[in-house]
Structures are given as structure tokens and as C-alpha cells.
A and B are shown apart, each in its own frame.
Chain A
Amino acid sequence: NAGVTQTPKFRVLKTGQSMTLLCAQDMNHEYMYWYRQDPGMGLRLIHYSVGEGTTAKGEVPDGYNVSRLKKQNFLLGLESAAPSQTSVYFCASSFGQPNQPQHFGDGTRLSIL
């Protein structure tokens, strides 16, 4: 019973490098979300998707892109990494109905040098 799986778990990048974070869910959830977690700032929504082939901007979308080509996968891309993007990234998914819980993965810890 995997739930929400994020890969990789850790990554160190140099400024200017690009990478993609992968999120996969096996709960047939319609909605998926990417958050970043920084000390003292809680979780902030980067981008989200309300269904396959759709994406939308969240609270802090600059510097990130996303794609939802398959219902079970949600990719977060950093085209040109910056030190300000050092953070822990969490993916979540839900059925998308009001008052339904979001299910989170265990995060990707990303350091940009």
C-alpha cells in the first residue's frame, strides 16, 4: 500500500542545473499538489493539478514548472536551480472533493549550492 511516493529522497544540485522531481500515487486520486516546506513558513503551494493534463499555479510558482501527463504522476521541474529553491518538497494527492484529506509523500530534500 504505497500511497504517495516521491523520488528522489535527497538531491544536491549546483546553481543553474535542472532537475525533475517525480510524484506517483496509487489511490486513483484526481487532484495532486506540490508544496515546499521551509523553516518557520509552513507548507506553501507551488502548483497543483485537478486532473490529468491540467495544471495551475499556486502561491509560489516562480522558477518551477509541472506536468501531469498521467493521472497517477505529477512532475515538478526546476529549469535553472537557484539557492533560494533549497527546501523540502512535498507532493500530495486527494480525491478533490471539499473537506477531503490530502495524502502526502515523505518529501524530497533538495539543496542548491
Chain B
Amino acid sequence: QQQVKQSPQSLIVQKGGISIINCAYENTAFDYFPWYQQFPGKGPALLIAIRPDVSEKKEGRFTISFNKSAKQFSLHIMDSQPGDSATYFCAAEALIYGGATNKLIFGTGTLLAVQP
């Protein structure tokens, strides 16, 4: 129940195309869903996040779509650029035994390559 399943494992997109990464979860207690972006040799960095009370959040070329009933959420990268080539992790925030900590459960990651 604590898992977050992410697909695909890798993705190749042409410059200008749309990149789509999907995640699914089981635990209905999750209430915060961030996406992290990681470049080679660097740590993950927060890209965009959503709460389950909204169905979509857009920041520039990046959009999260959230389907609460299906327990699924996805990241869409519009007009993908070579500089977007990175590993993307979805995550979900859970409480630990009702305590106030933002423990994150991460998906397994998607390696995105945007070809020029």
C-alpha cells in the first residue's frame, strides 16, 4: 500500500514533442504528490507538485494531471527540449503513525531523453 508505481522506465521524445510519465498509488492517505527532476551527478530537485483537491496544475511547460478516483497522476512536458533530458521521479507524501513528517515515497524513476 505504500508503493508508488511509475512508468515508463525510459522515454525517448523528439524535440518539440510531449513527454508523458505516469504514476499510480494505492494508499488513499497520501495527500501531496510532488515530481522531482534529477540531472546526472546531481540530487533530485522539486519540479512541480499537486494536492488531490485539484485535477490539474500547470507551471510553464510542465503540467500535472491528477485522477483521484483512479489513484493516478501524470507529468506532461510540453514542447520538450534537450535540456529537459533527466530522470524524473514521482512521489507521494505519507504521514507516519499520524505524526507530522513529510516522508516521501518515491516511484522508481523515468529516464527521459529528448533528441534534438
| Residues of A near any B CB (own CB < 8 A) | 4, 31, 40-45, 48, 50, 56, 58, 90, 92, 94, 96-102, 104-107
Which of B60-68, B74-82, B100-108 participates in binding chain A? B100-108
Q: A98-B32, A98-B93 in contact; A40/B42 too (CB < 8 A)?
A: no
Interface footprint category on B = 20 to 34
User: Is there contact, CB below 8 Å, between B108 and A42?
Assistant: yes
How many Å from the CB of B63 to the closest CB on chain A?
18
A sample of 20 more A-B contacts (CB under 8 A), given A45-B104, A98-B102, is A4-B43, A31-B102, A40-B9, A42-B106, A43-B89, A56-B96, A58-B103, A92-B43, A96-B101, A98-B93, A99-B51, A101-B34, A102-B46, A102-B104, A104-B45, A106-B41, A106-B42, A106-B43, A107-B42, A107-B43
